Structure 1
Amino acid sequence: MKSSGRLLAIASAAAGNGLRPAPMALLPPIPLYRRLFRAHRKHLPSEMRLLGDQYIKAEFRAHRNVDNPAHLIGFLTEWQLYAQKIEGDSWVGDKLDPEKVSKMSDQQIGQLYELMQAIRKKDEEGREE
Structure 2
Amino acid sequence: MIRPTLVRLAESIGTRPLNLQEASASLLPPLPLFRQILRTHRHLPAEMRSMGDDYVKAEFRRHKAIDNPLHIIGFLSQWKIYLDGLPRGPDAKFNFNGKKLDPQLLEKMSEEQVGQLYELMNATKDVWKA
Task: Give the TM-score, by structure 2 length.
Answer: 0.76
- Structure 2 unaligned residues grouped into runs of 5+: none
Q: Is residue 95 of structure 2 the alignment partner of residue 123 of structure 1?
A: no
1:111 equivalenced with 2:92 (yes/no): no
Kindly provide the amino acid, as one letter, of the partner of residue 29 in structure 2: P
> Secondary structure of 1:96's partner?
coil
Q: In structure 1, list runs of 5 or more residues that go unmatched.
A: none
Within 5 Å, give how 1:5-44 maps onto structure 2: 5-8=11-14, 12=18, 15=19, 24-42=25-43, 44=44
**In 1, are the aligned partners of 2:13 and 2:27 still within 8 Å (CA)?**
no
What's the offset of the Cα at 1:91? 6.4
Question: Aligned partner of 2:73: which letter?
Answer: I
Q: State how far apart, in whole Å, the 2-side matches of 1:75 and 1:29 are.
A: 9
Cα distance in structure 2, aligned partners of 1:87 and 1:102: 29
Alpha carbons of 1:33 and 1:91: their partners in 2 closer, same or farther (altered >3 Å)? farther
Q: Whose Rg is larger?
A: 1
Q: Does 1:83 align with 2:83?
A: yes
Q: Which has the higher helix share?
A: 1
Q: Secondary structure at the match of 1:3?
A: helix
Aligned residues: 119
Q: Is 1:93 the counterpart of 2:94 in the alignment?
A: no
> CA contact under 8 A between 2:41 and 2:52: conserved in structure 1?
yes
Tell me the distance in 2 between the aligned counterparts of 1:93 and 1:70: 30
Q: 1:77 to 1:29 in 2, by over 3 A?
A: same
User: Which residue identity lines up with residue 31 of structure 1 in the other structure?
Assistant: P
Task: Tell me by how many angstroms 1:8 deviates.
Answer: 4.7
1: CA distance between counterparts of 2:58 and 2:31? 14
